[in-house]
Structure 1
Amino acid sequence: MEHRFPSISPFLELIEQERRSPNKIILRDHTSGVTVTAGQLLYSVSLLRNKLDKALLHNGYYESEHNGEKFIFLIAPPGVQYLVSMLTIFSLAAGMSAQSIVVRPEEVKAHFKVARPIGLLYAPAFAQKAEAIKKLCAESDSGIDPNLPYVEIETSFPGSFESHTYVLEEPFETDLLRLGTLFFTSGTSGAQKGVVHSYEALLASARERIETWKLTENDVLLNQKPGNWMGGIFGIIPSLMAGSCLETCIDVFNPKWFWERISKGDVSIFDIAPTGYDRLAQYFDEHIAVLPHAQKEKYIRGMIATRCAGVTGSLIQPRIQERWTKLRRGKPLLNFLGSTEVTLICNMKWENPDYPDMCSVGPAVPGVEVKLVEGEMRLKAPTMFSHYISDDPAQTRKAFDEEGFFKTGDCAEKVGDCYVIHGRANIDVLHFWGFTVHTGEVENALSSLPYIANAVAFPIEDEKCQERTAAVLEIKPGFQARQPDLQRIRADLKEKTGLFLFKYPTVIYWLREGEDIPETSNGKISKKEARKKFFGDRWQHNENLEILDLKGMEYWRMGGLS
C-alpha cells in the first residue's frame, strides 16, 4: 500500500528515517505507554488524513468558496494523538489551532467565531467536550457553520510494514506554506490574542533549534508542556526533523517521576519554569539527598549528563541558578527567552556557558535582530508571526513600529552581548513616587532573606504615590512561629541586600497553609490572577494585608539605601 505525503519537512526526514532505521523509536508517549517509529507515525497520519479528508468532502468544503485561512482545531493531550493530528493537518495544507484540554466549550465557540475553522479533531477521551462544543455552536444565533465536521482521532499501528511504502508528492506551492499554526496567547500579561505563524516560520525556528542544540538522532527531548501553546511544539518539529526521540509526559510528570527518569542518564534536553525547579529541589532534599552516596550519585549524574537543562516561562532568580549549578557541579541552568509571537528570542548557549549575569537570557539567537527603545525590547526575525486574528483589524499593525520591529512589551537591558530581562512593562515594572522599580529585582532581594521560601512582587495602584510595590510572601518551614512583620522585612532588606529604599515592598500578604500562587498550566506564575486574588481593587481595606503608612516617609531619601 502506498502512502503519499507532501514534499516538505518533517515528512522528508520522517520518510528518510523510516527507510534508514525502520525500528528507531522517535516518540515515547509516557501517558499512554505507546512508542512509535517513523513508519508507524506516517501510517497513522495517512489513515487519519483519509478520514478527515472524507469528512471535509462530505461537508462540501472542497466545492465551496472558503474565504480566509484554513484552520483545523485540535483537542488532544501532547503525545501520539497530538503528533498524528498535527502532521495530518499540515499534510492537508491547513493551519493547526491546538486548544487546551481543559478549554471550556464557551471559549472554543469564541475562538471559532474569530478563526472560522474548517473542522475539529478531538481525542476519544474528549468526546463529551466535543459534543458540548457542537451543541453550543449549533444554536441558531451562534454564527458558526452548523455542518462543521467534528472528527475523532484514530491511531493505528500495523504489525508489519512490508506492504507499505511512503512517497513524496509534488512540493507545496509557496502560498500554501504561509499557514502553519494559530495559537491563542495565555492572557497572563494582556488581552488574549490569536497568533498566526506561517509554516515557513515554523521550519525556520526548527532549523535554528537543531543547529543550536546540535540535535541528532541519538538525542532524547523530554517535553512536559501542553500542546496549546507555541512552547508545546517548541521541541516537537525539531525532534522529528533531527530523528531524535521525543518523550511526552505531561500527564505523569511530577518530581518523583522526573527524578527517576533523569536518573537513567540519557535525557539530552528539557526545560521547565523556575517554580518547577523549586519543586524538584524540594523533592531532592526530602527523598534523594538522604540516600546512600552511590544511590544519590545516580540522580546527580543523570542531571549532569543533560546537555540543556532549560528555564522558560518566567525569570530565574539567582538562588535557583546557584542551587542547580552547584548540584550539576558547575553546569548552569540555561535561560531560554521566547514568546508566542516570535518563538525563541534569546538563549544561553550550552557550550561553555560563561556570562557576566548568569540570570540573563544570553544573546539573541541567530537571525533575531534586537533593538531597545526606552528600555523596551523590539524584534525582527524569520520566525516572527505573520499576523493576529482578532476582532480589531488594526491589532497587527499596532504591534509593530515604523521600522517593522515587533513591540514585545518586555523591559530589558543589554549587558555585553547578552540581554537581562526585567519583565513585562504592564506587570513587572512600576513607578513609585517617580522612581522606576523592576519587580524581578525586588523578588530576588526578598528571596535572599533566610526565612523567605517564595516571593512574587507586582504593582498596585495608589493615587498618592502612583503605584506601590506589593509582594506575596511564603515563609520557609521552621520559621512560622517567628514570622517577621513588614517593618522587620524592610530592616533586613536594608541590612542584608543592596536594594534601594524606594524598591522595598510597602504592602505584603503572607501565604497561608493550603494557599497557592495562581499558575498557568505551564507552571508560569500568573501575576494578573495573583494580584487580583490577594489584593484586589480595594486593597487598602483588606485586613489580611500589612500596609506601610507612607505619611512619615521622606521622598527625597528614597533614592538611597537608608
Structure 2
Amino acid sequence: MKVNFGRILLQTARQFSDKKALVNVEKNRSYTFMELHLLANKICNMMRDRFGLKSGDVYGNLLENDNNSLFNVWVTKSEPSGLWFNYRDSFDEHMYQIDYVNPKLIFVENEILEKENYYNAFRERGMEIVCMEKPRQELPGVQYFWDLIETASDAEVEVEYDIDEHITLYRFTGGTTGRGKCAAYSLRNFLAGANHIYGFEENIFTKDVKHLHITPLSHASSLFVLPIHFKGGTQYTINLPNLEHFSEAVQFHQITSTFVVPTILYHLVDLGLEEKYDLSSLNTVFYGASPMSPSKLEILHEKFGNIFIQAYGATEAWPMAVVLGKADHIVTNEKDKKRLSSTGKVLPTVEIRIVDDNGKDMPVGEPGEIWIRGANVIKGYHKDIEETRANFTENGFWKSGDIAYFDESGYVFIVDRKKDMIITGGFNVYAIEVENALNSHHAVQQSVVIGIPHEQWGESVHAEVILKESMTITEEELINFTKDKIGRYKVPKSIKFVNELPLSTVGKVLRRKVRDKYWKEKARKIN
C-alpha cells in the first residue's frame, strides 16, 4: 500500500496549527504544530535539492535530543532513509555503523565536529557534513544547518512510498550482549507504535499532555513521539540526563509525562529530589529498557502515587508489545504485589508466544522464550541474512531471547534473558530473580548478577553490588539476607561491592562487560 506521510502530518498540523508542539529546553526554542511541519519540509527539501538525496540514500543524525527532535519522525516523509546514532557511543562504534550503512550526509553537534578524529573520518568517507551550531572555524566540507534552512523551500514534500517496503530508518540494537545489529524500519512499524498505545485500555495521552524526553530520542524515547503528536500534545526535550536539570524542567514547565529507565528513578529518590522540587504535575511516568525491582517500585509508588506504567518492547519489536498499566500497580494484597514483578499484558493486535527450544507453546506458568509478531516487528536485519534467519521465523515472529511465562490472567512475567541464564550444578538460575532479592535490601542501590566459572558446578552465582551512600553491609550479611528470599542454590556464592556498573548510553547495565572480566580465555557452557 502506498502512503503520503507528509499529507498525514500536514493534516495533524492543520488541526493543532497554533498549539505548541515542541519545546527544546536547553536551546530555549519552541515550535507550533505548523511551524514544526514547515521546518521539517525545509529539512526534507534541503536534503533533496542541496545534497541530491533520493530513495535508497541515507543521512545520519549524530545529535543530542534538542537538535534530534527537529528531525525525528517528521523527516521520514521524505525519500532518504535515516540512521540514528546513540550520541554517547564510542568513536569506533559510530564508525562501525557508518561503514555498515554508508550515509552520504551527516548532521552533527559542534563538539563532534571539533574532534579531529571524527572530522577526518567523515572526510575520508566522502560524507557531506552539516553542523547544527555555527562552526567556530571554517572547515572544508562543512555547512551550517540554519544557513541551509534559510534558503530551503517549505513546500510540501509530496512523496509516496510503500508503507511496508520502504525503509524509513536504520537503528542499531543496544548491544548489551554483543555487537549491535542493524534494524530496518518501515513506516508501518512506526505507525504501529501509536496504534498500540491508543489500543491500551487506559487513556494514556490527551491533547493536554506535556511529555519530557530525558532519555535519548535515538532510542526508546522516540516511541512516544507520534502518539503524543497525533493527540495534539506538547513534547519537551533536554540533552543531559542530569536529575537536577530534569527536576527543574518538570517544575518550571509543569511536565505531566516522561519516560525513564529504572536507574534514574532509583537515583531520584536516593537524592531526595522529590522533596526539593515540585514534581506534582507528573501524572504518568513510563519506565522500561531494563527490569524494575519490585521492592523499589513499592517505594516509588508510595512517594509519587499511582503514576507508573511499565513498557516492554525491543529494537526489533518497537516500540511496545506488553504494558503494565497504572491500575496494575495498585497493591492491596499479596496477589497484587506479585503482579508488580510482571511486565504487564499484551497490547491489542500484538501476538506473543512463549515457546520451548523446539518452538512448541508452553503451558501457563511454564517459562519459555518470548516470540513476538505484529505490525511493530521489523522484517529483519539490514545486510545480515544469517542473523535474520536465526532471530526471525519464516512466518514473521521475532525470537526475543527473553525467558518468560504467562500467568492464568494473561500477565507476562519475564524471568531473564536467555543468554543471562546461569546454570549451576545442573540448576537454572535466573539473574533477575537474584537481583530483585538483593535490591530489596535497604542498603542496596543496584546490583547485577552473573555466572562465573566454577570447576565443580560449571558456574557459580556472583553479584556486583552498589550500596547507597553512607550505607554499609558485609558480604556475609547480604548473602544471608538473600537466603530468606530465594532458593539456596540461587543465593550468590560471592559478592563484590563496587562504586559503579558499566552502563549503555541509555542506562542499561552492560551485563556482558561485567561477565567478561571473569570469563576471559574461558568458553561458556550455556546458551
Q: Which whole-Å CA distance do the structure 1 matches of 2:165 and 2:131 have between them?
A: 26
Q: Is the 8 A contact 1:71 1:97 kept in 2?
A: yes
Note if 1:280 corresponds to 2:268: yes
Q: CA deviation at 1:538?
A: 8.2
- Contact 1:275–1:523 (CA<8 Å) still a contact in 2? yes
Distance 1:187 1:165, change over 3 A: closer
Match of 2:84 in 1: 98
Q: What one-letter code is carried by the residue in structure 1 that aligns with 2:191?
A: L
Q: Deviations over 1:422-454 (max 9, x none)?
A: 221112x11110111111111122223344333
Aligned partners of 2:173 and 2:182 also within 8 Å: yes
537, 553, 556: which one pairs with 2:520? Answer: 537
Give me the whole-angstrom Cα distance separating, in 1, the residues matched to 2:274 and 2:130.
Answer: 46
Change (3 A) 1:155 1:499: same
CA contact (8 A) 2:3 2:163 kept: no
* Contact 1:43 1:156 survives alignment (8 Å): no
| Residues 408-427 of structure 1 aligned to structure 2 (within 5 Å) | 408-415=400-407, 416-427=409-420
| Identity fraction in percent | 18
Are 2:128 and 1:149 aligned?
yes
Q: Secondary structure at the match of 1:347?
A: strand
Q: Does 1:236 align with 2:211?
A: no
Are the equivalent residues in 1 in contact too, given 2:41–2:155 (CA < 8 A)? no
Q: TM-score, normalised by structure 2?
A: 0.83
Q: 1:198 to 1:402 in 2, by over 3 A?
A: closer
Q: Please give the residue correspondences for 1:385-396 in structure 2 after superposition, counting only pairs within 5 Å.
A: 385-390=378-383, 392-396=384-388
Distance 1:158 1:138 in 2: 23
Find 2:427's aligned residue among 435, 451, 455: 435
Q: Is the 8 A contact 1:518 1:530 kept in 2?
A: yes
- The structure with the larger Rg is 1
- Once the two structures are superposed, residues 72-98 of structure 1 have per-residue CA deviations (whole angstroms, 9 ceiling, x without a partner) of 21111112x323333574232222111
CA deviations 1:263-294 (Å, max 9, x no partner) are 4684332121111111110122xx654x7xxx
Residues of 2 paired with 1:25 and 1:412: CA distance? 41
- What's 1:472 paired with? 464
* Separation in structure 2 between the aligned mates of residue 419 and residue 41 of structure 1, nearest angstrom: 39
- One-letter amino acid of the structure 1 residue matched with residue 339 of structure 2: D
Shift of 1:243: 2.0
Secondary structure of the corresponding residue to residue 266 of structure 2? helix
- Post-superposition Cα deviations, 1:367-413, rounded to whole Å, max 9, x if no partner, equal 211111121111111111122124x4321111123553211100111
CA shift for structure 1 position 362 = 0.5
CA-to-aligned-CA distance 1:108-161 (integer Å, 9 cap, x gap):
3322332233322234453335x744533555xxxx5x3x433344248999xx
SS across alignment from 2:385:
coil
1:76 corresponding residue in structure 2: 63
Instruction: Establish whether residue 523 from structure 1 lines up as the match of residue 499 from structure 2.
Output: no
Distance 1:310 1:88, change over 3 A: closer
Whole-angstrom distance in 2 between the partners of 1:49 and 1:175: 18
Q: Note if 1:489 corresponds to 2:478.
A: yes
Kindly indicate whether the alpha-carbon contact (under 8 Å) linking 1:84 and 1:155 is maintained by their aligned counterparts in 2: no
CA distance in 2, matches of 1:32, 1:239: 21
CA spacing shift, 1:127–1:449, aligned 2, 3 Å: closer
Q: Structure 2: where are the runs of 5+ without partners?
A: 133-144, 331-335, 357-367, 523-527
Label 1:379 to 1:175 Cα distance change in 2 as closer, same or farther (>3 A): closer
Counting only pairs closer than 5 Å after superposition, residues 263-342 of structure 1 correspond to structure 2 as: 263=251, 266-284=254-272, 289=275, 298-299=278-279, 301-303=280-282, 306=283, 308-329=284-305, 331=306, 333-342=308-317
Question: How far apart, in 1, do the equivalents of 2:328 and 2:164 lie?
Answer: 41
Of 325, 342, 359, the match for 2:341: 359
SS in 1 for 2:313: strand
Asked if the contact 2:45/2:157 (under 8 Å) is kept, the reply is: no
- Return the alpha-carbon distance in structure 2 between the equivalents of residues 476 and 149 of structure 1: 47
Asked whether the 8 Å contact 2:422–2:428 carries over to 1, the reply is yes
Scaled by the length of structure 1, what TM-score is found?
Answer: 0.78
- SS of the residue corresponding to residue 423 of structure 1 reads strand
Deviations 1:346-377 (CA, angstroms, capped at 9, x unpaired):
11123565555112111111121111112111
Query: 1:491 and 1:351, CA in 2 relative to 1: closer, same or farther beyond 3 A?
Result: closer
Report the equivalent of 2:362.
none
1:466-488 residue CA offsets vs partner (Å, 9 max, x unmatched):
211110123344543xx3233x4
Residues 222-272 of structure 1 deviation map (CA, whole Å, 9 limit, x = unaligned): 11111332x131112222222210011132x43223334434684332121
Count of aligned pairs: 487
Cα distance in 1 between the residues matched to 2:438 and 2:92: 40
**Gapped regions of structure 1 (runs ≥ 5):** 1-5, 540-562
